[in-house]
Amino acid sequence: MYIAAHPDDENTRIISWLTHEKHVDAVYLSLTRGDGGQNLIGTEKGELLGLLRTQELLEARKVDKGRQWFTRALDFGYSKTSTETLKFWDKQQILADVVWAIRKNKPEIIITRFDPNSNGETHGHHTASAILAMEAFDLAADPKAFPEQLKYVKVWQPKRLFYNTSWWFFGSKENFEKSDKTGLYSINVGTYFPILGISNNEISSKSRSKHACQGFGMALERGSDLEYLKFLKGDKPKTNDIFEGINLSSEKGPIKTHQEKLIADYQFNNPQLSLNTLVELYDLLKKEKADVSKLNQVKDLILKTQGIYFEWTTQNGFGTLNQEINTRLEITNRSNKNINVAILGSGTKEIAANDSYKATEKLKLDDVQLSNPYWLQQTPKNNLHVVNNPADIGQPEILNPVKKAITINFDSAKIDFEIPLKQKTVDPSIGEQYEPFYTVPSFVANFDQENFIFSNHPKQIAVEVESFVTNSSAKVSLKGSKDWKISPPQTIEFKEIGEKKKVLFKVEPISRNANSSLEAILESQGKTYTQSLNVVDYPHIDRQIWLKTAQAKIQNLDLKIPAVKIAYLKGSGDEIPSSLRAIGLQVDELDLKNWNPSLLKKYDVLILGIRLFNTQPEITLVNKDIWKFIENGGLVINQYNTNRGLLTNEIAPFNLKLGANRISEEDATLKFLLPNHPVFNAPNTITQKDMDNWVQERGLYFADDWDQNLIPLLEGNDTGESPQKGILLAGNYGKGTYVYTGLSFFRELPAGVPGAYKLFMNILALRK
Ligand SMILES: [Zn+2]
């Protein structure tokens, strides 16, 4: 079991070495699902980002053949110490989950990614993951620890625990090479597998590349390479073999002899001959009440060796309760003899060698539940996901698809299979595509934003209503507190399944500091629907959905808004444009691929999206035009970029070097260095009160070194650290102004933080 804190912390080189070279069962226990991170491929944040990363981990495991496991810990964002982390999470709860993971998966060896003695040297979640692993190593074997788990599992003592050290912990590769490695255990992760025609390193690079939303697509690595493990706990091996004294074959008796026979008799050019041994093995495992995953592996081998294929599909990706849908079943027998298949509800079919059974049938979706990820059905409590059934804790996902039961009669035995219903589409440019089939409410409503900010004026709020019922109608209404005037309900009609209609409501604040939640309510045929459908859909994962209450926040801010024309260039993706449009500003997104310097002429302000200089190669050709724009009087607001992986060092018209400093305490004091500067006074007066209620953090990747033209405006730091000044810098260049800001506006504006809005308005007003 490999233990770390986040999706992407895991060392896929070791995981694929364990599965491919040592043929052992390897599990990656990630404490969190990565909900708090940033997203390089889209706008998912929070729970939806966690959902995306869960799938990326599962895709990575499909490549490296490990298994995936989690705790309930919520990734609450950057934390500088493990002490802080373990306070946020309620240490005992997460410790219980790690102990549970060990008792359930029974690892002989535990490997941590991080050093348990590194408090304050890396992300607090990282050190915490190693500390928890060290403690859980002993507690998993102690019947007095978390005895409530023993209803489901037995105690388990892992044999030994290592820490997987790396050059990063030594500052540089050179330092690591020079360091004394006596006493460390080494693993050559560069093994080449001739049967597969691929090396371990290549497999692990492919696995790592699945972390697309974190930008970990990488080139394949080949050749010898060493990983180092430091022994920390348990029974210390005397040789370099980390498996010393561990029996790698868990099977014995007839099961073992069957496995050996299967391998010895296997004929690659006639795999069908393995059938009898496989069926016998299946029966033996069943008698011994073996784990379902083992039985499924044997069933899978039976299908593969016999060339049997089946699928059950439908055209739409979504269905509703009690709806009747069209489905298509295909069972193809590519073995050299006839098979006999009993299909639940359709009787028994004889399928001849290399022939298919194909049938379309109507399916009534009764006796099904709405699809929703099990850990997202309730709001998290105390930074933990709420899981109702304790036995479910740790599972990466619990799929509950609509299934068709069939039984294939192989003369010697009858074996049951379940075929999950999937959406199948054929796209002329891609070919066939499969996605999970989900059950959703008949009507859903989505707001296009989570927060709507008002500045004493009414505005139109759009709700997109989607119907999954043909020829239907729904009454749509919005509900807010009594400080708001909201236009009356509207009834809308739908023809097709999946049809979406935008419904506009006039919403008006009638008190100065009105603040409320706004709920969408849909009524149709005596039933009420109150959920939104949130879809995460990318080519590298299975489509995911999350059903949650259709709700947004409405806030009236006493904001003075400068009259400026704004252009925006997208970096890795943020919601600054929609957050500014929400208060009535016009923002045009420019396209770097169709660049023309005259594009900027009609604007006063250009906002650069987060990580623009990290992610958009075209910026290296365009930056000079941007400096020209400033010279001619424009204002450029450069949001944070990471100091590593800049595509150009010229991120400002003058010297500006970025560091990696951040302030992760969202309530850290920010001192106004020049209280009379316009940024604190015009058009909005900023006071310390405006620094209240920021979310997750203050900011990140502050500037380290800058030209004397740039003036630092804020100073602050996390508890116990030295003051930072590179948080917000403004400087004149030609007739215009350049601003660099590491403040997390990309989080604060979408979250509707009033003070952050005010400050951003004043930055926009720095245009002279
Ligand atoms: Zn991490």
The per-residue pLDDT for 406 is: 96
CA dihedral (735, 741, 744, 746) positive or negative: positive
343 and 349 Cβ atoms separated by less than 8 Å: yes
2-234 CATH: 3.40.50.10320
CA-to-CA distance for 577 and 583, rounded, in angstroms? 10
Return the CATH number of 441-556, one of 3.30.70.20, 3.50.50.60, 2.60.40.10, 3.40.47.10. Answer: 2.60.40.10
CA-to-CA distance for 600 and 623, rounded, in angstroms? 12
The per-residue pLDDT for 412 is: 76
CA of 646 to the centre of ligand 1 (A): 21
281 and 415 Cβ atoms separated by less than 8 Å: no
CA of 340 to the centre of ligand 1 (A): 51
CA-to-CA distance for 30 and 273, rounded, in angstroms? 41
Q: What φ, ψ does residue 645 adopt, rounded to 5°? A: 75, 35
Between the alpha carbon of residue 424 and those of residues 50, 131, 311, 435, 496, the distances in Å are 26, 46, 10, 7, 19
**What residues does each domain of the chain span?**
2-234, 253-436, 441-556, 566-764
DSSP 631-700: HTT-EEEEE---STT-S-S--SSS-EEE----B--TT--EEESSTTSGGGTSSSPP-GGGGTT--S-SB-
The per-residue pLDDT for 345 is: 85
* pLDDT beneath 50: ranges in the chain: none
Residue type, 396: P
CA of 6 to the centre of ligand 1 (A): 5
Helix (H) or strand (E) holding 615: helix 612-615
The per-residue pLDDT for 377 is: 95
Q: How far apart are the two ends of the chain, measured CA to CA in Å? A: 59
CA of 122 to the centre of ligand 1 (A): 9
Domains 2-234 and 566-764 agree in fold? yes
- Cα 638 to chain center, whole Å? 26
The closest of 502, 472, 496, 523 to 316, measured between CA atoms, is 496
The per-residue pLDDT for 697 is: 92
CATH architecture assigned to 566-764:
3-Layer(aba) Sandwich (3.40)
The per-residue pLDDT for 761 is: 97
Side-chain half-sphere CA neighbours of 46 within 13 A: 14
Other C-beta atoms closer than 10 Å to the C-beta of 249 total 10
CA of 745 to the centre of ligand 1 (A): 23
CA of 87 to the centre of ligand 1 (A): 18
The per-residue pLDDT for 211 is: 94
Residue 72 neighbours by CB under 8 Å, 6+ apart:
93, 94, 97, 375, 384, 385, 386, 387, 393
3-state class (DSSP) for residue 365:
coil
SS3 per-residue string spanning 661-672: CCECCCCCCEEE
Helix (H) or strand (E) holding 519: strand 515-524
The per-residue pLDDT for 632 is: 96
The per-residue pLDDT for 172 is: 85
Q: Is 494 exposed, middle or buried (0-12, 13-18, 19+ CB in 10 A)?
A: buried
CA of 127 to the centre of ligand 1 (A): 10
CA of 83 to the centre of ligand 1 (A): 16
The two three-digit tokens of residue 699, written as one number: 């900011």
CA dihedral in degrees (743, 748, 753, 756; nearest 10)? Answer: 30
- Measure the CA angle with vertex 570, ends 568 and 575; round to 5°: 80
CA of 203 to the centre of ligand 1 (A): 21
CA of 164 to the centre of ligand 1 (A): 14
Mind listing the pLDDT tens digit for each residue in 654-672?
Answer: 999 999 999 999 999 999 9
Is the omega angle on the peptide bond into residue 712 within 30 degrees of 0, that is, cis? no
The two three-digit tokens of residue 417, written as one number: 């299979």
CA of 343 to the centre of ligand 1 (A): 47
CA of 130 to the centre of ligand 1 (A): 12
Mind listing the pLDDT tens digit for each residue in 728-740?
Answer: 999 999 999 999 9
Helix (H) or strand (E) holding 173: helix 173-178
